[in-house]
Structure 1
Amino acid sequence: MNDAIRHLIIEDCRKSCTDANIFDDLKGQTILVTGGTGFIGKWIAEMVTFLNVTQKLEINLYLLARDIQKFKDEVPHLAEKQYIKLISQDIRNLHDLPEEVNYIIHAAGSPDNRDHVSQPLRTLETFYKGTFNVLDSATRLPGLKKILHISSHTVYGKNNDETFIKESFLGTLEPNTVNHVYGESKIIAETLCSVYKNQFRLPIIILRPFAFIGPYHALEKPWAINNFIRDGILGGPIRILGNGSTIRSYLYASDMAYWILKALTIGQVGESYNIGSKFPVSLDELAKKIQQSISPSIEILSRSSKENYANISRFVPDISKTVKALAVEETHTLEDSISRTVVWNQLNKK
């Protein structure tokens, strides 16, 4: 990874980290991240590195995942840090965690719906057995202070009416179809968190992420913004494969990492918080923004299989509870998020 890429990420962390003093309680502490080599894990490692360098916090970080060699290959500048330790482990077979762990961020499991459909049983096992194993192991940690469970906005089910989704929203779910195994698995995992919080008094907080964008977000993943940016970088055309009126919102990666660490530090045990951007954008508008960011000459093609859609899919979080409780803000606009993601991928030659 070249210096330009590192500088971009450091500047992202600096901009997002609006109150570094809030992390004084993490000084000298040990944080373990399950799924630690994925998108979230990499950004937690970047933000912890930023805090260790700028605030001298001396945070120790364990990253637990199945494929640690890929992490070493992709981000050697993080893998070589003495305060970052890698644990090769499938959480479905997890029995114990390092006893010095003070904080856990449970982020294991792929949000890629291709994995959910092709390997539904593994998806269910990862979120049920994996979460059970993490929480059971946590009951034996002598210095445990807090667990942050990364859930998903899919626990809300279908949304046909709400403009902004609050933490109390209850949509409809279809448990009899394999397409919903991810959302159902996340609900089961949240239920386990509730059980362990009440029966074993584990200090658990739940975060429900919506959509993100930024460096380390693989462009081959099956999400519109990733594919649009990939198409644009390759010279186009940008293809809209579905309803261009679909509404989403996108939080930049460094803001995401800062919000997660803030929730870990000052979040209220027993609470659930949405994490995402409050600014909605349709896929049609998103494609145009990416076109303008890369080259106005790039063609946009809409290839919908339907001319008219009965319902418009809309998933945008109400983050008022999160903003008030955690004192966070979005520091990157969507235009800036797109621009920086494009630059990072161009520098990274991927």
Structure 2
Amino acid sequence: MLNNVKRILITGGAGFIGSAVIRYIIEHTQSYVINIDKLTYAANLCSLAKVSSNSRYIFKKMDICNRQGLERVFRQYQPHAIIHLVAESHVDSSIISPINFIESNIIGTFTLLEASRNYWSNLSEKDKGNFRFIYVSTDEVYGNLGSTKLLFAEASPYSPSSPYSASKASSDHLVKAWLRTYGFPAIITHSSNNYGPFQHIEKLIPSVIINALAGKPILIYGNGLQIRDWIYVEDNAKALYAVLINGKIGEVYNIGANNEHTNLDIVQIICSMMDYLVPKHPIGIKRYQDLIQFISDRLGHDYRYAIDSSKIQKQLGWKPQETFESGLRKNDKK
């Protein structure tokens, strides 16, 4: 267990998962948080409104590719740990313009690793031993499970399918190399599909809700039978904090909630909930499912992702609290 984690630097803290992690740390611990975020289109400072006035929260607008800026932040705030969440993450965008994903996810991670290693190497031996670098990755680096009943384990081979997942896999390998070559105290996590409050509208669940309310087509790739494991974002935030405090250097932890659903299932569940919660339908439809339209499948679309999270549950005592449906209901209330 880590002791004396007073200052935690979080990259991408204005993003969907990052903001959930910051809210959790500020509300449930006494640690200070230094949030570094470039504030791209996917950032949302409203997601941090509950904690932005807290004296233990500090925000710095910065690109993690800015090595000098990172080093200034390290000198000024002297963090005891880093949770690296910055990432371009929209698969469709990565297919259209992969260069942004190479720059942010690979070059950005390299730059942060080098700045962090330089800072860490100059710490006292005691502080070196207490320092941690948590790299937050994705289950997509493992590729396609197909129609098998297998689950992604921490030792599953990498087989990324999209420019996005390839960029994340590349960063995983960088982190592992810095651990092996320099002894840098890193831990990697792989999370399944997140959902919850403040998720960007380009993602499946918020896009379905917004289009349904507007009476616009709800578009589904292919036959909609692609399977994903879904985790409520606040469950993931708790898992990441557990990894920070109790995780073992050099380990990989998969984080999932055993909530496997097809994309079509997800859309139908949301439409049924909205029939009840928003019974006044747009003109011309009797139920929100009438808006569903199937379109050509995404290039390189993986059929199934599913996480085996038994390792983090057994070793760190973390368990997801929400089912898919209960997480959706909590999101409605927020």
Q: 1:319 to 1:184 in 2, by over 3 A?
A: same
Q: Contact 2:14–2:48 (CA<8 Å) still a contact in 1?
A: no
Cα 1:195–1:304 change in 2 (3 A) is same
Contact 1:232 1:298 in 2 (8 A): no
1:34 aligns with 2:11: yes
Distance verdict in 2 for CA 1:321–1:233, change over 3 Å: farther
TM-score by length of 2: 0.82
The Cα shift of 1:121 comes to: 1.7
Q: Aligned residue for 2:153? A: 166
1:98 corresponds to 2:69:
no
Separation (CA, whole Å) in 2 of partners of 1:120 and 1:101: 32
Match of 1:65 in 2: 37
Aligned partner of residue 50 in structure 2, secondary structure: helix
The answer for the alignment partner of 2:100 in structure 1 is 122
1:134 aligned to which of 92, 102, 112: 112
Letter in 2 for 1:34: T
Deviation (angstroms), 1:108: 0.7
Percent identical residues: 22
1:323 maps onto 2:323 in alignment: no
Question: 2:180 aligned to 195, 198, 201, which one?
Answer: 198
Call closer, same or farther: CA 1:119–1:239 in 2, change over 3 Å: closer
**Aligned with 1:299 (options 285, 288, 292):** 288
Distance 1:277 1:39 in 2: 18
TM-superposition CA deviations, 1:248-294 (whole Å, max 9, x none)? 12111111110000011111111111112212112232223223322
Specify which of 224, 238, 244 is matched with residue 244 of structure 1. 224
Gap change, CA 1:340 and 1:235, over 3 Å in 2: farther
Kindly provide the amino acid, as one letter, of the partner of residue 179 in structure 2. Answer: K
Shift of 1:226: 2.7
Partner of 2:281 in structure 1? Answer: none
- Cα 1:330–1:62, aligned 2, differ >3 Å: closer, same or farther? same
Q: What's the TM-score, normalizing by structure 1?
A: 0.79
Amino acid at match of 2:106: Y
Q: Secondary structure at the match of 2:33?
A: strand
Mean Cα displacement is larger for which, 113-122 or 253-262? 113-122
Q: Gaps (5+ residues) in structure 2?
A: 277-285
1:66-125 CA-to-partner distances (Å, cap 9, x unmatched) read: 129965455333222111111121111223142421110011112112432343222112
Distance of aligned partners of 1:282 and 1:125 in 2 relative to their CA distance in 1, 3 Å threshold: same
**For 1:10-89, what aligned pairs fall within 5 Å after superposition?**
25=2, 29-52=6-29, 58-67=30-39, 71-72=44-45, 75-89=48-62
For residues 320 and 295 of structure 1, what CA distance do their matches in structure 2 show?
A: 36
Distance 1:65 1:304, change over 3 A: same
Preserved contact between residue 188 and residue 251 of structure 2 (Cα < 8 Å): yes
CA deviation after TM superposition for structure 1 residue 225, in Å: 2.5
| Structure 1 residues 47 and 289, CA gap change in structure 2 (3 angstroms) | same
Corresponding position of 1:18:
none
Q: 1:38 to 1:101 in 2, by over 3 A?
A: same
Match of 2:236 among 235, 256, 271: 256
State yes or no: 1:154 paired with 2:140. Answer: yes
Letter of the 2:37 partner, please give it: A
Partner Cα separation in structure 1 for residue 208 and residue 198 of structure 2: 16
Q: Extract structure 1 runs of 4+ deviating beyond 6 A.
A: none
Cα deviation, 1:153-174, whole Å, max 9, x if unaligned, reads 2211233244322222226446
Gap regions ≥5 residues in structure 1: 1-21, 53-57, 175-179, 345-350
Tell me the SS of whatever aligns to 2:294.
coil
